[in-house]
Amino acid sequence: MDKSFLEQVQIHKKNKLDGLHSKTKMIVLILYVICTFILAVKVTRLQLPLYQIAWFGVLLVIFALSGQFAKCLRGMRAVFVVFAVIVIAQSLIQPGGEILFKLGPITIEEHGLQKACNLGFMVLDVAGIFVWFFQTTSHKEIAAALREAGVNDKIAYVFVSTLKMIDEMGKNSRTIMNAQRARGIETEGNLMVRAKAFVPSLIPLVLTAITGAEERVVTLEARGFSVNAQKTSVFKLEKSGAETLVLIVSLLITVALAAWRIFLA
């Protein structure tokens, strides 16, 4: 029941796709984006990018196979909002072509629908695979993969500490805002009142962070952070064993799609 510290920092994943090495995931991501562009052909009488819509189904399959379907969909929320805005706005504002749908003042014309689908599904597919990458790869894994790929220790450190810093400062900002509210600064009311509350909430936040950074420099230097030597990492990046298979399959799909696009479509 009691795990050693070394065991606590390790990440073990059962799912083969979820536990892929970060480098393999990155290659899958790039190939998926390339395929999205390959599939940007317009079909049917309305010239819609139907293949890209189907390609989004593949993304959902990847989500499900990784065993993180719910988590990935949660991550997709912001993307869905943008997708909806693009589709609605473009299909309403782009004039031209035959009128497909009319309801009172709302008309959807051919060109509008085309542009909406072209832009919308491009954004949905490309952004979606990024969501998959980041929802299935923890910050620690990304940093370890960076270090493994020969990236400078300092860059890897900055990346991880940025993610921590955002959490930390987010918490601090709520504390500071509550403290300032207790001192009588109004955070509700008209625009001017709210705008005036912004400055006294932000400035103490930045100031504490900078004083903290000075102390952290001393702490890090004392632990030999800037020593020019090989460093040992407690966290070891694991492979799930499916790397080669996934690479071959995704490469085959890309090549097949490219061939189909060049010779048949």
Partner 1 sequence: MTQKKRSIKDDFTMLTILLIPIGVAVNVVGGNLASLLKLPMYLDTIGTIFTGIIAGPWVGAVTGLLTNIVTGITNPVNFWFIHVNVIVGLLTGFMARAGWFTDWKKGLLATVIQSVASTIASAPPVVYVFGGVTGSGTSLISAVMIAAGKSIWTSFLSVEIVWTVIDRIISWLISLGVMRVIPDRTLVKFPLGNLYLKNKK
Residue numbers at the binding site for partner 1 (CB under 8 A): 75, 78-79, 81-82, 85-86, 89-90, 92-94, 115-116, 119, 122-123, 126-128, 130-131, 134, 154, 157-159, 161-166, 168-170, 173, 177, 187, 191, 194-195, 197-199, 201-203, 205-207, 209-211, 213-214, 216-217, 220-221, 225-226
**From the CB of 1, what's the least distance to partner 1, in Å?**
34
How many other C-beta atoms can be found within 10 angstroms of the C-beta atom of residue 49?
A: 23
CA-CA-CA-CA torsion for 13, 131, 60, 64, nearest 10 degrees?
A: 20
- Shortest spacing between CB 3 and partner 1, in angstroms: 28
Give the shortest CB-256-to-partner 1 separation in angstroms: 26
Helix or strand or coil: residue 245?
Answer: helix
CB of residue 92 vs partner 1: minimum separation in angstroms?
7
186 vs 256, which CB is nearer to partner 1? Answer: 186
The residue (of 56 and 134) whose beta carbon lies closer to partner 1 is 134
Residue-by-residue DSSP string for 19-42: T--HHHHHHHHHHHHHHHHHT---
> 16 vs 42, which CB is nearer to partner 1?
42
Minimum Å gap between C-beta 207 and partner 1 is 6
Q: Write out the two tokens for 24.
A: 């393999």
Give 2 or 214: the residue with its C-beta nearer to partner 1. 214
For residue 204 the two structure tokens come to 């103490």
- Distance of alpha carbon 117 from alpha carbon 40, whole angstroms: 11
The least distance separating partner 1 from the CB of residue 112, rounded to whole angstroms, comes to 10
Rounded distance between C-alpha atoms, residue 96 and residue 120, angstroms: 19
Q: Is 101 helix (H, G, I), strand (E, B) or coil?
A: strand
- Report, in Å, the least distance between residue 250 CB and partner 1: 19
Which contacts of 92-101 are long-range, i.e. CB under 8 A and separated by 24 or more positions? 100/46
Closer to partner 1 at the Cβ: 229 or 262? 229
Taking the C-alpha atoms of residue 48 and residue 46, their distance in angstroms, rounded to an integer, is 6
Minimum CB distance to partner 1 smaller for 168 or for 256: 168
> What are the residues whose beta carbons fall under 8 Å from the beta carbon of 203, sequence distance 6 or more?
none
Decide whether 226 or 244 has the Cβ nearer to partner 1.
226
* Cβ atoms of 24 and 246 closer than 8 Å: yes
